[in-house]
Chains A and B, each alone.
Chain A
Amino acid sequence: MEIVQIEKLQQLLNSFANKDVYIHLETTNGAYASHFNEKVFNAGAFIRNIKLQYELGKVTADAPHRVGLKLAHGWVYAQGITHYEIDEQNRLLMAGHDYDGKLAVALEISKTPFTY
């Protein structure tokens, strides 16, 4: 993956707009967060292969970036995005990697369903 380049990422977000796409969105502290530190309140969310259309996708200028998708009747957004790539299956993968190289957030957009 590459560090987010706002203009390139914005173009990619535009290219998936107003089309049926599948979404993967996750946020996580890791399953062990409150094992290593009992004061950590461990929370996260995960959704995969949800089909939707967005009319507007936007990446914010300040890093780590926020990426928001405006839907006809709702929203999808992710905070903390640092990296992105178009993979070999032409899927737009965005992720936020923390200072230790651990994934903290992922937002992925694909015209075909992701694997299981």
Chain B
Amino acid sequence: MALQPERHVLVVFPHPDDEAFGVSGTISTYVNQGTPVTYACLTLGEMGRNLGNPAFATRESLPLVRKKELQAACDAMGVTDLRMMGLRDKTVEFEDDEKMVQMMTNLIEELNPSLIITFYPNYAVHPDHEATARAVVRAVRRLPEERRPKLHGVAFANNTGEGLGEADIVNDIREVREQKIGALRAHISQTAWMLEENEKRLAAGEPEAENWLTFERFFKYRWHEDFEEQF
């Protein structure tokens, strides 16, 4: 499936693997179409809990493992502009809020994206996801309306349906399924358990298992229902 052409796509997530689950098919599709894609990943997932039993990493060696996985996932998706922003996992919400907005503003000013993909505020579950989403929305809000890039959010909180309804954008990613699986496999320290479960479900013919290798869903940010009055 061809996506509407974009000048530049900026993807912003806090953890290596955040991109793999919900967005790697869409990213791969843009890359394959020749659209420049920048992925800004705020942390290296330093506080990840999946260390295996027997353990394959320690709390101290995990960031190095996940950095390599992140680079491998970018290779799988064809992303050549990966920015590792140097924050620490689980601390993003405690950073200075204005500093976070500036980080996003700097990326936007440098790259001039026509589309930004991040999480949808209040529907992103993990505190780092929420803090990332807030910073991106705030940075975009400061731009005059006619200069704002499109803003597409990933939402997966249990109350997403009640609060946001159906996704505005549903990308059919079947053509790039192998790239998506490649991105997921690249993050094997975090995805091994999930991939194994999914293969069982696929083998059992469960339609839901097929779903996330078929579609990726996004919500257009609703400026008329902004998550805050101002910042």
User: Which of chain A's residues have a CB closer than 8 A to the CB of B8?
Assistant: none
| Partner of A102 from B49, B59, B126 at Cβ < 8 Å | B49
Q: Is the CB of A95 within 8 A of B55?
A: yes
- Asked whether, in the complex, the Cβ of B47 is within 8 Å of the Cβ of A26, the reply is yes
Check A87–B50 contact: CB distance below 8 A: no
Please tell me if the beta carbons of A101 and B90 are within 8 angstroms of each other in the complex. Answer: no
Beta-carbon contacts under 8 Å, A18-44 to B: 24, 26, 28, 30-32, 35, 38
CB distance from A27 to the nearest CB of B (A): 11
Interface residue B158 (Cβ < 8 Å from any Cβ of A)? yes
Whether B126 lies near A32 (C-beta < 8 A) is yes
Residues of B within 8 Å of A, CB-based: how many?
24
Q: Please tell me which one of the listed residues A24, A91, A95, A108 contacts residue B51 in the complex, with CB atoms under 8 A apart.
A: A95
Contact with B along A70-87 (1 / 0, CB 8 A): 000000000000010101
CA distance A95 to B86 in the complex (A): 25
Task: Tell me, in angstroms, the Cα distance from A90 to B90 when the chains sit together.
Answer: 26
- Binary A-proximity of B187-210 (CB < 8 A = 1, otherwise 0): 000000100000000000000000
Q: Do residues A116 and B88 form an inter-chain contact, with CB atoms below 8 A? A: yes
| Contact residues of B between 120 and 174, Cβ < 8 Å to A | 125-128, 157-158
Tell whether, in the assembled complex, residue A30 and residue B49 are in contact, meaning their CB atoms are under 8 Å apart.
yes
**A114 near B60: Cβ-Cβ < 8 Å:** yes
B58 close to A (CB within 8 Å): yes
Interface residues of B in 41-59 (CB under 8 A from A): 47-55, 58-59
Report yes or no: B51 in contact with A97, Cβ–Cβ below 8 A: yes
Q: Is the CB of A1 within 8 A of B55?
A: yes
Instruction: Enumerate chain A residues within 8 angstroms of B88, measured Cβ to Cβ.
Output: 116
Closest residue on chain A to residue B91 by CB atoms? A46
B157/A97 in contact, CB under 8 A: no
With a 10 A CB-CB cut-off, give which of B54, B61, B127, B157 has the most chain A CB atoms. B54
Interface-central residue, B48, B55, B126, B157, by most chain A CB under 10 Å: B55
- Asked if residues A100 and B53 are in contact (CB atoms below 8 Å), the reply is yes
Inter-chain CA distance A51–B88, complex, in Å, is 20
29 contacts between A and B (CB under 8 A): A1-B54, A1-B55, A1-B58, A26-B59, A31-B128, A32-B125, A35-B125, A46-B47, A85-B58, A87-B60, A87-B61, A93-B58, A93-B60, A95-B51, A95-B55, A95-B58, A95-B59, A97-B52, A98-B53, A99-B53, A101-B51, A101-B53, A101-B54, A103-B48, A103-B49, A103-B50, A103-B51, A114-B60, A116-B88
